[in-house]
């Protein structure tokens, strides 16, 4: 007589994967235990299972971690409350918005209502369900099923505020009982116009992360750029199955972020901690399930963090630096060079457009940084910096190093123009300013030299640092370009001013609200 494993007869259990064992137990104990676990997962008094099947991420082949799995029990959908809303701009932000959210268990017929006023949510858009299954990690962590819903809203009018609500069978956001859960967004204008966007990387779930979110909301940004290492469900960050991983952290992260991302488009890209090896392809199945980003990159089904959009005179390009990183090579070369070729083409296309003044590029690994933890990635320098200079990119934003650091204007790896606090640079004349904005909420790093920031300037002629080489080794550098350094939680706020003398007015704000840096990027009007 064999002892049952977790309630499964041993001869059967020995032939089953962890995912199959989870499915067996869910069918065997469908209601009491599922409801008890679901309430804990959702953090609510009651949750429910619907009976709808769930598709995998759009355009990607279903994998064992993202297969459709019918729910075993049916409970009134009125008991299931949506959470974790997050917006994303479409490839054309003047007419497209993507609305995403989460439910604790599968629901029937999810949808979005949208309209010009809270009482006139007259348009109904069917939502897609993406079911993400994470197998059990033995006795360490239970299997996790997460349900992400996505509504693609097209045909909108430029520069208009819309109200929206998300729901499903049994839960109608137009019901007056749910008015407090309605959100709003505003489409991009179809002309150059003054606006603000914000940016940071390396956030996670913490009081400091939440504080940064609240400060960002206070800037009234048109969109936010997240430079990767989004929630740290994978705490190791090597892109391997041996990494420590807890999928449930995503529930906490999206609940935390709802307060700002429900009204501010949250434009993310992938960091090394976002390579979650439990999901195919290339560890990005989780990203494909959770986010609906512009699909104009080289292959949105394979590289979801690579895309571009234009907003009121600014062209923005998101990149996945895992593809070129010398430091963390798990996904090095996974696009076969296609991302870099696409980058060259896309920067050229954006630079040729009559309606674009500035080009902003954001990604995770740093081209230029001096912290003791990661410093600079030689792969980024070798593959992408020459393209940034070729197409006269105006501003590059990175994360990875959990601090704020800002360079002088750089060309050819050297200082072309010093840019002190309050200074300015022109990418055509002077070179490119690179900003590390990795102080979003994760544990802070250290510099090898003292901080130097607004009100506490300690300029140095040089800093001893290093960069990562093709061999994964550290090569020593003596750099002159480290102009501003701040060890603290912070984020970027960029005010875009169009006109005959267009400019980006860039500020770095600490968690306290104190400004720690500011500078301008200028460009002669090209049209």
The CATH number for 248's domain is: 3.60.21.10
Is 374 within the bounds of a domain? yes
Question: Which three-class secondary structure state does DSSP give residue 280?
Answer: coil
Is 15 within the bounds of a domain? no
Q: Is 272 found in the same domain as 175?
A: no
Q: Is 275 found in the same domain as 131?
A: no
Ranges of the chain whose pLDDT falls below 70: 1-75, 525-527
Of 133, 150, 183, the residue at which a domain comes to its end is 183
Of 151, 167, 183, the residue at which a domain comes to its end is 183
Contacts of 294 (CB under 8 A, 6+ apart): 88, 89, 90, 91, 300, 307, 308, 309
* Token pair recorded at residue 310: 């234009």
Is 209 within the bounds of a domain? yes
Strand-strand pairing, 223-226 and 266-268: parallel
Counting runs of H as helices and runs of E as strands, what totals does the chain give? 9, 26
Q: Is 216 found in the same domain as 158?
A: no
Q: Is 397 found in the same domain as 454?
A: yes
Strand order in the sheet with 111-115: 123-126, 111-115, 161-167, 183-186
Is there a contact between 419 and 408 (Cβ–Cβ < 8 Å)? yes
Q: Is 416 found in the same domain as 289?
A: yes
What is the model's pLDDT at position 526?
Answer: 54
CATH number for the domain harbouring residue 81: 2.60.40.380
What is the model's pLDDT at position 74?
Answer: 64
Contacts of 405 (CB under 8 A, 6+ apart): 369, 370, 371, 435, 436, 447, 482, 484, 485, 486
CA 296 to chain centre: 16
Is 1 within the bounds of a domain? no
Is 31 within the bounds of a domain? no
What is the model's pLDDT at position 75?
Answer: 65
Q: Is 364 found in the same domain as 397?
A: yes
Q: What is the pTM of this model?
A: 0.87
Of 161, 183, 205, the residue at which a domain comes to its end is 183
Is 14 within the bounds of a domain? no
Q: Is 275 found in the same domain as 414?
A: yes
Is 3 within the bounds of a domain? no
Is 38 within the bounds of a domain? no
CA–CA gap between residue 180 and residue 30 (Å, rounded): 32
> Radius of gyration over alpha carbons of the chain, in Å?
23
What is the model's pLDDT at position 176?
Answer: 87
Q: Which domain holds residue 72?
A: 46-183
What is the model's pLDDT at position 27?
Answer: 45
What is the model's pLDDT at position 141?
Answer: 85
Q: Is 437 found in the same domain as 306?
A: yes
Is there a contact between 228 and 399 (Cβ–Cβ < 8 Å)? yes
- Count of domains observed in the chain: 2
Is there a contact between 503 and 522 (Cβ–Cβ < 8 Å)? yes
């Amino acid at each position: 007589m064999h002892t049952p494993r977790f309630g499964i007869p041993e001869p059967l259990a020995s032939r089953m994967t962890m995912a199959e064992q989870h499915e067996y137990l869910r069918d065997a104990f469908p209601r009491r235990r599922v409801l008890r676990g679901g309430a804990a997962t959702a953090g609510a008094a009651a949750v429910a299972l619907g009976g709808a099947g769930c598709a995998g991420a759009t355009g990607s082949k279903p994998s064992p971690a993202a297969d459709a799995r019918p729910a075993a029990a049916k409970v009134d959908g009125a008991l299931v409350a949506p959470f974790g809303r997050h917006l994303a701009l479409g490839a054309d932000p003047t007419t497209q918005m993507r609305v995403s959210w989460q439910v604790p268990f599968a629901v029937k017929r999810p949808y979005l209502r949208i309209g010009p006023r809270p009482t006139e949510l007259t348009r109904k858009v069917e939502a897609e369900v993406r079911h993400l299954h994470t197998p059990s990690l033995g006795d360490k962590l239970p299997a996790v099923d997460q349900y992400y819903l996505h509504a693609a809203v097209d045909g909108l009018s430029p520069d208009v505020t819309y109200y929206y609500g998300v729901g499903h069978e049994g839960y109608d956001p137009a019901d007056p009982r749910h008015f407090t859960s309605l959100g709003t967004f505003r489409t991009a204008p179809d002309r150059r116009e003054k606006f603000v966007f914000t940016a940071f990387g390396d956030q996670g779930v913490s009081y400091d992360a939440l504080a940064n979110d609240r400060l960002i909301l206070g800037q009234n940004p048109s969109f936010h750029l997240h430079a990767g290492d989004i929630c740290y469900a994978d705490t190791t960050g090597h892109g391997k199955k041996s990494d420590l991983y807890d999928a449930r952290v995503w529930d906490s992260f999206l609940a935390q972020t709802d307060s700002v991302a429900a009204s501010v488009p949250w434009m993310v890209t992938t960091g090394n901690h976002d390579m979650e090896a439990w999901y195919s392809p290339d560890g990005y199945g989780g990203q494909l399930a959770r986010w609906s980003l512009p699909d104009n990159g080289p292959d949105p089904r394979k590289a979801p963090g690579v895309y571009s959009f234009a907003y009121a005179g600014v062209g923005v390009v998101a990149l996945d630096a895992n593809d070129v990183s010398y430091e963390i090579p798990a996904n090095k070369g996974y696009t076969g060079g296609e991302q870099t070729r696409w980058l060259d083409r896309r920067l050229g296309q954006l630079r040729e457009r009559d309606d674009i003044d500035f080009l902003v590029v954001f990604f995770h690994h740093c081209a230029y940084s001096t912290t003791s933890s990661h410093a600079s990635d030689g792969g980024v320098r070798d593959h992408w910096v020459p393209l940034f200079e070729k197409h006269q990119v105006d501003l590059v934003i990175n994360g990875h190093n959990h601090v704020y650091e800002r360079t002088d204007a750089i060309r050819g790896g050297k200082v072309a123009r010093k840019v002190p606090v309050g200074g300015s640079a022109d990418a055509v004349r002077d070179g490119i300013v690179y900003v590390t904005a990795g102080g979003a909420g994760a544990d802070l790093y250290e510099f090898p030299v003292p901080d130097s920031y607004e009100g506490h300037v300690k300029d140095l002629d040089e800093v001893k640092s290093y960069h990562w080489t093709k061999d994964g080794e550290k090569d020593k550098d003596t750099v002159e370009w480290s102009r501003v350094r701040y060890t603290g939680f912070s984020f970027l706020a960029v005010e875009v001013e169009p006109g005959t003398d267009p400019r980006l007015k860039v500020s770095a704000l600490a968690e306290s609200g104190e400004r720690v840096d500011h500078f301008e990027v200028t460009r002669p009007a090209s049209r």
